[in-house]
Chain A
Amino acid sequence: MEPLRMETENLTVHYGKSVGVRNVSLPVYDRKITALIGPSGCGKTTFLRALNRMHDLNPIVRIEGRVRLDGEDLYAPGVDPVAIRRRVGMVFQRPTPFPTMSIFENVVAGLRLVGVRDRERLMGVAERSLKAAALWDEVKDRLHEPAVGLSGGQQQRISIARALAVEPEVLLMDEPTSALDPISTQAIEDLLAGLKEQVTIVIVTHNMQQAARVSDYTAFFLNGDMIEFGPTERLFTNPSDPRTEAYITGRFG
C-alpha cells in the first residue's frame, strides 16, 4: 500500500442548514496526484477547502468528522489554522497575483511577509519556485516588474510558484486551469507531473480528460457524496458504480 499523507474520515461539511459534503472518507497518498471530479455543485470544492481549514472564515460552515495530515487531526482543539495552511497550500480557480507586488515579491510573499529578509535566500527560493512552476525562463529578466502585467496563464503559474515557495507538504488546486486558454492549460498540466516529485497534490477539476491525463487517483463526487474512489486508470476504464460510468461516459454533467 502507498504511504498516506492526508486522509479524511466521515467528513461532513454543513452550510447553515444544508449539507455541502456528506460523510466522505478519502485517502490522499504521498506524492501522488488525486483528482476530484463531478458535476457543478457536487461538493468537490467544498471538500477541498476543508483540507486546509479555508472554511474557517465562514461562520455558517460547520465541520464534522476527521481530516488528518500525517496522522494529526486538523480540526482538533488547539490546532492553529495558520500553521496548517503553511503545510497545505492552495491555488485558486482565478489567478490571484498580489496587485501591488512585483513578480519576485509575489513569489516570495509567503516568506517575506513573515519576516524572512535574507535577499540571497529569497532570490534562491524565487528561482527554484519559478523553475518548478515552469515560468523561470519567461520572467527571469523582469522579476521586478508588476505581476499583474503577465498573461492569465503566467499569473496562474505565479500563483503556483508562490504556493510552492513556502514548501508545503500538500498543494490543493481548485480548478486551476478553468480560467485559462488551452495552451496555458497544457503548460500547467505538463508541470504537474514534475511537481508531484516534491509535493502531494489534490486537484479539483470538472474536466474529466484533465483528471484522466494528470492524476494517479480519482474520486467522483455527486450531490455531496463521494460515489467512488480508485486509481485513475481503473476508475475511468472499469468504474464499479453505474453513476460513475454514466458521468465519465458523458451521460450527464
Chain B
Amino acid sequence: MNLRRRYLRDRVMVALVYLGTALVLLPLGFILLHVFTQGIGALNWAFFTQPPAPPGEGGGGMLPAIVGTFVIDLMALAMGGVLGLGGGVLMAEYPDHPLNRPLRLVANVLGGVPAILMGLFAFVLVVEPMGGFSAFSGAVALAILMIPIIMRATEEVLRILPWELREAGLALGLPRWRVTLSLILPAARGGIVTGLLLALARAAGEAAPLLFTAFGNPFLSFDPLGPMDSLPLKIYVYAISPYEDWIRQAWGAALLLALMLMVTNYLARRALRRS
C-alpha cells in the first residue's frame, strides 16, 4: 500500500516536470511562431540583395544591414573572444594570481551594466577619439558586452575538469602554459564554444550599443572605420516607424536574425562533433 502511494507520487512529480517544461517552451515557441508568420512575407529576393528604399516607395531590402551584422559581430567576437577567454583562463587556472580579484569584480560589474551604457562607453573610448561613428566602435561595444559572458562560461567549464588532468601534464615536465593551452583548453572546447555562441547570440540581438557607435548606414559598406548598418538597428528604426512596409521588413529582419543565430549554433555544434 505504501508502495502504491510512492508510485502515485512519482507519477505526479513526473507530470509536474513535464508541465514545467511545457510552460518554459511555450513562450519560446510562441515567439518563434509569431516572428515566423509575421516575417516570412517580407523575405524575398530584394530583401537580401537591395539597399533600403525610401519610405512609401516600397521594395528595397536589407543587404547593408545583413553584411554589417556579419562584419560587426565577427569583429566583436574576435575581440571579446580573445579577452574573455584570457580572463576566464586566468580566473580558473591561476586562482592565486593577484589580478584575479579585480578581474572577477570587473566581470561581475560588466555583467550587470545595461547594454546602452556599453555603447556610451565605446562612444567615449572609440568614437570621439577617432572622430566619427564606425563599425569598429560598434564591435568594441558588443565585445565589452560579450566579455563577462565568455569569461564566466570559460571559467566554469575549466573548473569542472578534473585537477588530475593538470597534474598529469605537469608530471610529464610540461610548463604550466603548455598544459593549459594543449590539454585543458582542448578538453573544455565544447563548453567554451557554447560560451562563445551564447555571447554572440546575446550581442547579435542588441541594438542599443550600436545606436551611437556603428550608427547605421543606408548604403552597403565594408569599411570598418565608417558607419555601418546592422539588423538590430534596422529592426529598431523600422519597427517604430509609421510606414507599413518598413514595419513588415522589421519583422523580416527579426526572422532573419533568429534564423542566422540558429544556423550558427547548429554549424558550430556539428563542427565540434566532427573534430
Chain A residues in contact with chain B, CB under 8 A? 52, 54, 57, 59, 82-87, 89-92, 94, 96, 98-100, 109-110, 113-114, 159, 162-163, 166
Contacts and interface: CB of A to CB of B under 8 A. Distances in A.
Interface in B134-177: 162, 164-175
A87 B171 CA distance: 10
B182 A85 contact: no
A166 B172 contact: yes
Contacts of B170: 54, 57, 82, 85
Contacts of A113: 172, 174, 178, 182-183
A109 B172 contact: yes
B198 interface: no
B226 to A, nearest CB: 42
9 contacts: A82-B170, A82-B175, A85-B173, A92-B164, A96-B164, A100-B187, A100-B189, A110-B173, A114-B174
A89 B168 contact: no
Contacts of B165: 96, 98-99
Nearest to A99: B187
Contacts of B178: 113-114
Given A96-B168, A109-B182, A166-B172, 11 more contacts: A54-B171, A82-B175, A84-B173, A86-B172, A89-B171, A90-B171, A91-B171, A98-B183, A110-B174, A113-B178, A162-B168
B242 interface: no
A100 B187 CA distance: 6
Contact of B164 (A83, A94, A109): A94
A142 B11 CA distance: 47
A163 B169 CA distance: 10
Interface of B: 96, 162, 164-175, 178, 182-183, 186-187, 189
B173 A166 contact: yes
Contacts of A91: 171
A159 B162 CA distance: 15
A184 B238 CA distance: 69
Contacts of A100: 186-187, 189
Contacts of A163: 171-172
A90 B171 CA distance: 6
B173 A82 contact: yes
A89 B167 CA distance: 11
B188 to A, nearest CB: 9
Contact of A89 (B96, B172, B175): B172
Contacts of B182: 109, 113
Contacts of B164: 92, 94, 96
A113 B185 CA distance: 14
A222 to B, nearest CB: 26
Contacts of B171: 52, 54, 85, 89-92, 163
Contacts of A84: 173
A192 B167 CA distance: 22
A72 to B, nearest CB: 16
A82 B162 CA distance: 21
A83 B173 contact: yes
B167 A54 contact: yes
Nearest to A91: B171
Contacts of B167: 54, 57, 90, 92, 96
Contacts of A98: 165, 168-169, 183, 187
B224 to A, nearest CB: 35
Contacts of B187: 98-100
B178 to A, nearest CB: 6
A132 B189 CA distance: 33
A38 to B, nearest CB: 22
A224 B106 CA distance: 43
Interface centre among B165, B168, B171, B175 (most CB of A within 10 A): B171
